[in-house]
Structure 1
Amino acid sequence: MDSATPASPVRKRGRPTEAGRVERRGQILDAALPVFLEYGFGTATVDRIAAAARVTKRTIYTYFGNKDGVFTEMQRRLAANVSGESLRPETLESLAARIVYGLHSAQMIGLHRLVIAESLRFPELARRLHDNGDMRHIARLADHIRAEHGQVAAAQAEQLYALLLGEDYRRRLLGLLEPVTAAEAAVHARSALAVIQLTTASLPSGAASAAGAPSP
C-alpha cells in the first residue's frame, strides 16, 4: 500500500485581489521614481520602469496606460504622502510642519529638480506638479484654516504655503542646505503661522475675527 503523502493540489492563478492590485501599483510607483530621477522624463522608458519594478510592460500599461500615466500618479502619490492625506485629521500647525518636512525630503526635492530641468521640453509636467502638489497642499491648508478659525480668504492659504516654502526651500533645491529635521520643520511652521496671524490684523474687523485674530 502506497503511504506517500498525496501532492497538494496546484492552485490556479486567478485575478489579483484588490489588496494585491494596490500592492502592485505601489511596487511600480516605488520603482519608477529612481528611474525618472536617473534618466529624466524624456529618456525614461516603460521598459526601464518594468525592469526596475520586476513586472512586465503589459502590467504597467494595464495599471497606468503609459509612461505619462505612471509619472502623473507618482506625483499625486508623493503629494498625498507629503500632506499626510491618509492620516487622521490634525491641527493646522502639525499639517504645516508635515508639509515643510515632506517638501524637503530627498524624493520631493529630486522630483522638483527633475520637473524644472524638463519643463521647457515638457511644460505639462510643471503644470501637473503645480496642480497635483502645490494646489493640493494649499487646499488642505485652507480647509484647516477654515476649520480652526472660521471663514478666511483663499489668499491666506496661498500666503501660508509660500512662507512654508521660503528661502530655505530654494537653498535646498540648489543643494546648499541639508534636509530639515522634524524639529526644524515644526519651528519653521510656527514662524510662518505667526506671520499669518500678524497680517490678519490689517483685515477688516469681520474678516479678522473670522480668521481668529482680535478685532481692532
Structure 2
Amino acid sequence: MDEVAADGPRKRGRPTRSEREQRREQILDAAVRLFLEHGYGGVSLDRLAAEAKVTKRTIYVYVGDKTAVFTAVVGRLNRDVFADGETTDLEALTSRLVLTLHSDVAVGLHRLVIAEAKQFPELAGSFYAAGPQRYVDALSALLGPSAATGEQLFALLLGEPHRRRLLGLEPAPSPAEAERHASAALAALGLRAT
C-alpha cells in the first residue's frame, strides 16, 4: 500500500521529524476512531493501516504492535494533563486531570478497557500504567509528605461524576466545571481553602 501524505503522495527519502510526528498522530487518530467504534478485539493492524492510510510496517516502526498502539493512545492523553511538562502547580494539574479524564475520548477508552479486560488482560495493565498510575505518581510527588495521598486525591478527581460519565448519564465537564470539581477535591482533603 502506498503511503499518502495529507497533502498528496509521499515524497521519497527520509521523512523529517515533523513528518514522522504527523504520521504517528495520523496512526493514533485512526486508532482512537477504530477502538472506540469497534473495541480492542475488533481492530486489527491491517484495518488500522487501511484507516490511517499507511502500511502495517509503518505502524510497527512508528508505534509498535496493537497493545503498543493502544498504550500510545492512552499515553497521548498525558499531553493534555501534563501540558508543557508542567506538574508543579497542584490546582492546575488537578483541573487538567478532571477535564481530560472526563472527556469523551478518555471515558470511551476507559469503557473499552473495562469491557475487554478479561479477554485482553495485558490491555488493562498497559492502560493503568500509561494513565492512572502516572497521574497518581504525579499527584503523590506534588503532595509530598502531606497527610493526603495521590491515590486519595485521584479518587476524588474521578469519583461519582466519572462514574456518571462512564454510564453516559452526564456530558463532559466544561473547563469551569472541571476547575470547580478539582477545587472541591482539594478542599475535601484540606489542600485548599473552600
* Residue 37 (structure 1) shift: 1.2
What is residue 50 of structure 1 aligned with on the other side?
Answer: 49
Q: How does 1:82-121 map onto structure 2 within 5 Å?
A: 82-89=80-87, 91-121=89-119
State the match for 1:128 in structure 2: 126
Distance 2:160 2:138 in 1: 22
Corresponding residue SS for 2:119: coil
Q: Which AA in structure 1 matches 2:164? A: R
- The alpha carbon displacement at 1:32 in A equals 0.7
State the structure with more CA Rg. Answer: 1
In structure 1, how many angstroms separate the alpha carbons of the residues matched to 2:146 and 2:20? Answer: 41
CA apart distance, 1:61:
2.0
Percent identity at matched positions?
51
CA RMSD in angstroms, aligned pairs only? 2.0
The reply on whether 1:18 has 2:26 as its aligned counterpart is no
Contact 2:153 2:189 in 1 (8 A): yes
Question: Which amino acid is 1:28 matched to?
Answer: I
Q: State how many pairs are aligned.
A: 183
SS state at 2:32 partner: helix
Aligned to 2:146: 152
**What is the alpha-carbon distance in structure 2 between the residues aligned to residue 130 and residue 36 of structure 1?**
17
Distance in 2 (alpha carbons) for counterparts of 1:61 and 1:157: 35
> In the alignment, is the contact (CA less than 8 A) between 2:164 and 2:170 conserved in 1?
yes
Deviations 1:142-188 (A, max 9, x none): 22223xxxx336x6111011011111100110011111111111111
157 and 65 in structure 1: CA distance in 2 versus 1, 3 angstrom threshold: closer
Q: Which runs of 5+ in 2 are unaligned?
A: 1-10
User: Partners in 1 of 2:162 and 2:80 — Cα distance?
Assistant: 14
Q: Contact (CA 8 Å) 1:156, 1:196: kept in 2 or not? A: no
CA distance in 2 between partners of 1:103 and 1:58 (Å)? 31
Distance in 1 (CA, whole Å) between partners of 2:86 and 2:19 is 24
Query: Counterpart in 1 of 2:75?
Result: 76
TM-score, normalization: structure 2?
A: 0.86
Distance apart, 1:123 and its partner CA: 1.3
Offset from partner CA, 1:52-75 (integer Å, 9 cap, x none): 211112211222232222112112
Structure 1 residue runs of 5 or longer lacking an equivalent are 1-11, 199-211
Q: In the alignment, does 2:177 pair up with 1:184?
A: yes
